[in-house]
Amino acid sequence: MDGGAHPGGRIGPNAITQMAAALDAALPADAVDALFAEAGLAAYRRAPPARMVEEREVAVLHHVLRRRLDPALLAAAAREAGLRTGDYLLANRIPRPVQWLLRVLPAPLAARLLLSAIRRHAWTFAGSGAFAARPGHPVRLSIAGCPLCRGAVLDRPGCGYFAATFERLFAGLVHRRARVTEVACAAAGAAACVFEVRYTTWLTSIMLDTGSST
């Protein structure tokens, strides 16, 4: 279990604020207050963080949510929080001309450009974890030392928040039918959390059949 402070072990406040918003949409406010209090984050209910937060705080919040919430409710809230985070990034962090360019490019090329942008900003969501990405079909993104599930032991992948964030970005910018699945999770014994993006259409199928054997 990781309890110490890392250099660079901070991530963007969306991991807290969008989860709070998703929980508030599903539960009474006092129940959400109690969950944040149990995680030692009551102050964030009074004043939501506007800057980078300690990744340890995010890990503890997820730990409390896994302990207290029904797994289906938690999965739905994590997905909602991830989609909201994707919406925030589209509205505030990705310049309009870049979004326009990605939307008009063929999906495989747009995916490459989006991956390089995500890679440049990986420190804002992976913290001290190590992000890697590989274009192709499916696109694969991975986070070793993922701050969401650190210290957890699960029988299925538990980082749906990241899967949903990636899905909103790929669906908004690369292909509207993009779907993201966490196919391996450190909490379930894998070396890293791995996310696969699929957006196959008749056109990408033809291009991939001729351009890739994997």
User: What are the residue ranges of helices labelled H in the chain?
Assistant: 14-26, 29-38, 42-46, 55-68, 71-92, 96-104, 107-120, 123-126, 160-173, 202-211
CB of 168 to Zn ion, least distance (A): 18
Given the complex with Zn ion, which of 169 and 185 has the nearer CB atom?
A: 185
How many angstroms separate the Cα of 158 from the Cα of each of 134, 148, 188, 208? 21, 8, 8, 30
Pick the stretch among 16-24, 67-75, 108-116, 178-186 that binds Zn ion (CB under 5 A): 178-186
Show the binding pattern over residues 139-158: x = contacts Zn ion (CB under 5 A), - = does not: ----------x---------
Given the complex with Zn ion, which of 26 and 154 has the nearer CB atom?
A: 154
Given the complex with Zn ion, which of 59 and 193 has the nearer CB atom?
A: 193
Classified as helix, coil or strand, 143 is strand
Task: Name every residue whose Cβ is closer than 8 Å to that of residue 213 and which is 6 or more positions away in sequence.
Answer: none
Instruction: Look up residue 28 and give its two tokens.
Output: 């009474």
CB of 121 to Zn ion, least distance (A): 19
Given the complex with Zn ion, which of 111 and 159 has the nearer CB atom?
A: 159
Binding footprint of Zn ion on the chain (CB under 5 A): 149, 159, 185, 193
